[in-house]
Amino acid sequence: MSIAKRPSGKWRAQFHEFPGGPRRTKVFDRKGDAQRWLDEQRVNIARGEYVDPTRARQTTFDAHATAWMAAQPWRGSTRDKTESMYRTHIEPKFGVRPIGSLRTSELQAWATGLGATLAPSTVEGTYRLLSSILRAAVADRVIARSPADGVRLPRREAEIRVPLSVGEVVGVAENIVPELEVAVLVAAATGLRQGELFGITEDRVLWLKRELVIDRQLVTPSKGAPFFGPCKTARSTRTVPVTDEVLSLLAQHRQRFGAGDAGVVFHRDGGPWARNRAAARISDAATKAKVGVTGWHALRHHTASVLIAQGLGVTAVARMLGHSPAECLATYAHWWPNEDDQIRKAIARTWATSAAAAVCD
């Protein structure tokens, strides 16, 4: 680090980020100001907090975001969903901007604007993606701080789910394409996620044990061939008990349609069902059946509602769905019956005799 007086009478301060690294310079009217600036840079470098301002000006948001997303260890479906979210809601607004030019106030206005047209959950997911990209820029010393810090999202009201009734599930099954009729009923009786359902192969059906082995899921990326991938979480790997009725449905389906490629139970002319095609089919069926809740995941919620209505506890429901108990409670707590009366009776039974004896004494 050094300071030199220029012919103009001004003072030029200069330093190198690291030995042999690029030289950074700045000109000041007074020598004292130049020295204070050098001292600040020396401290920042020593702390590992130095940020080259030229990188923030020269790096576009899209260049940094694209490189960051490419480096993430996402599964194919997660990558497709995340990149679609970025290209739809973030890149058009901030892509060409220098990443150092973004301000908290404009990010706040952007988030508020999203809330006017998108569901709160979508706004939250989009904001989290933007925030993650900017945090990575801070970690890479591209910017000193994230302008996403301090942004407030629209209030997210608690979502009250209304599960499908048995009649509605049957209505969807009756109106879907024949190849998926049994798939709807099996999904409603097992609570499988869409990828788990369409990833079932014949060797995963344990007929004598009356179980389905769920240890993988079908992944159908937007580009490339479908493949079997790992389950969503470690808890998602499980065996799911099934009834004799479900096994009978699977047997009838097998007799009618046979097995698909790699032994897939539910297939489309032998090939796997692409995620978007299967989603479109159940949406169409729900419309025909005049059912308001659409999507394969609605059948998973139906399973949870049936188990809870029959008195099963959090642990059993979570195990069936491949959830953690905490996640299960966060999603379905409002479906469990109120236990206030049971609490009163339990306390009354325990204390009635002792309390009466104490009063008599």
Q: Give residue 15's pLDDT.
A: 78
Provide the 10 A C-beta neighbour count for residue 261. 12
For the domain covering 58-139, report its CATH number: 1.10.150.130
**Per-residue pLDDT tens for 67-117?**
999 999 987 778 888 999 999 999 999 999 999 999 999 999 999 999 888
In CATH, 166-335 is 3.40.720.10: no
Quick one: tokens of 168? Answer: 């509605």
Q: Give residue 350's pLDDT.
A: 78
% of the chain residues with pLDDT over 70 = 94
Could you tell me the residue ranges of all domains in the chain? 2-50, 58-139, 166-335
pLDDT band for position 235 (cuts 50, 70, 90): very high
Round to whole Å and give the CA distance between 239 and 217.
13
b (16+ CB within 10 A) / e for 280-297: ebbeebbeebebebbebe
| Stretch 18-26: mean pLDDT | 75
**What pTM was computed for the model?**
0.70
The tally of CA atoms less than 13 A away on the side-chain side of residue 100 is 14
Cα angle 64-83-122, degrees, rounded to a multiple of 5: 110
Cα-only R_g, the chain: 30
2 vs 214, more confident: 214
Choice among 64-73, 258-267, 304-313, 329-338 with the minimum mean pLDDT: 329-338
Do domains 58-139 and 166-335 share one topology? The answer is no
> How confident is the prediction for the chain on average, in pLDDT?
89
**Per-residue pLDDT tens for 248-258?**
999 999 999 99
Sheet strands (E) in the chain: 2-5, 11-16, 23-28, 205-206, 211-214, 217-219, 227-229, 238-241, 267-268, 271-272
Report the amino acid identity of residue 217.
Q
Determine if residue 224 is left, alpha or beta; phi over 0 gives left, psi from -120 to 50 gives alpha, anything else beta: left
